[in-house]
Amino acid sequence: MKHLFTIVLFCMALNSAFAQTKSTSDNFVIPNGGFETWYNVVVGPSLNYDDIGSGPTDNWMATLNSLMAVPPSAGGPGPVTVFKSTDSHTGSYAAKAISANFPLGPITIFIPGMLGTAKMDMIGVRALLGKPCPDCKPSRFKGYYKFEPVNGDSCTAVILLSKWNSSAKKRDTIGYGKMVQHSAVNTYTQFDIPVNYTGTGIVDTMTMLVVSSAGFNVVNFTGSVGQPGNTMYVDDLTLDYPNGIQQVFSHEVSVVAYPNPASDILHIDLSKAVKGGTIEIYSSEGRKTGSYAVSSTTNTIPVSGLGNGSYYFRLMAGNEMLNTGTFVINK
């Protein structure tokens, strides 16, 4: 069972759309960052839990609650560690993260209450962290929280921007920010985390985590330490961007790119036509390789001049980014 909790860091999910709703000229609401939308997951006749979003495919922010689906023969069910709470900063609901122990035969594994871009992949026996976010560069990660520590435990919020280094076959950190809180916070208080950019290159993935126990281990949960019952309430998560940047992502225009891998032609299908739309293509190193007009819902783009490797694209309308995606060239 130990391998069940091994996490593959920052695994980019192909064809996953990054969605944000613009609220001011330089502030963006993280999708469902107010935690107003939840759905119920039925595991068995007497087992069910609430998870963030409107359904299994709406999981931009997720939890580790699917551990409840671990069967009894493998030591399950696992604990639910994130709950829908009416104790909110604004609106009707907030998220309540509570760390818990998971007894597995002779050992007990500590499971932190975690939410964000972290989703258990039960079939692949791993958790996926991070969401595609080509060329995004937020300046601050903000939210409101309360905290009820147990025996001196702490909570944390983390944001990390990274890019894939194809030569070294690893992820390079471009930007990073973190907050750790040790003492109790009895009323909703804002955390405001500046993102420090120390790396070079163009970001392709963003990871955000809010965790009720700061001693979590994202490489292997068996290395996590903390106190069961450590509780963190979270609401109204947002990202700030520098003035003048128009980074607006929307599920309203979905993009399907095929075949994948491609060799000569890449088909780009849009859910609806975009006036003045363009597809910009970038290499994994962030070098722009082309820009193509997309005037209808079905479009073809020549890619025969691209070398083998991974690429990502941006769907643009003027200076607004509507969606992103990735594809592979294999000749």
pLDDT in tens, 53-84: 888 765 678 898 988 988 888 888 999 999 99
ω before 77 within 30° of 0 (cis)? yes
Query: Helix (H, G, I), strand (E, B), or coil: what is residue 138?
Result: coil
Domain edge (last residue) among 191, 206, 240: 240
**The model's pTM:** 0.71
- Same structural domain, 173 and 68: yes
Residue 55, exposed/middle/buried by CB under 10 A (0-12, 13-18, 19+)?
exposed
Please state, in angstroms and rounded to a whole number, the distance separating the CA atoms of residues 123 and 126: 8
- Same structural domain, 88 and 183: yes
Structure confidence at residue 5 as a pLDDT band (50, 70, 90): very low
Q: Give 115's DSSP letter.
A: E
- Same structural domain, 132 and 278: no
Q: Give 68's DSSP letter.
A: G
What percentage of the chain has pLDDT greater than the value 70?
A: 81
DSSP class per residue in 210-257:
EES-TT--SSBGGG----TT-EEEEEEEEEE--TT------TTS-EEE
Q: Which residue has the tokens 């890449």?
A: 266
Query: Helix (H, G, I), strand (E, B), or coil: what is residue 208?
Result: strand
- Convert the pLDDT of each residue in 126-151 to its tens digit: 566 777 777 778 899 999 999 999 99
Tell me, yes or no, whether 75 lies in a domain.
Answer: yes
Q: The domain that contains 314 carries what CATH number?
A: 2.60.40.1220
Domain tally, the chain: 2
Parallel, antiparallel, or unpaired for β 155-165 and 205-211? antiparallel
- Same structural domain, 116 and 194: yes
- Same structural domain, 11 and 50: yes
- Same structural domain, 114 and 232: yes
Q: The domain that contains 213 carries what CATH number?
A: 2.60.120.890
Which residue segment(s) compose the domain that 298 sits in?
255-329
- Same structural domain, 182 and 231: yes
Residue 44, φ and ψ in degrees, nearest 5: -160, -175
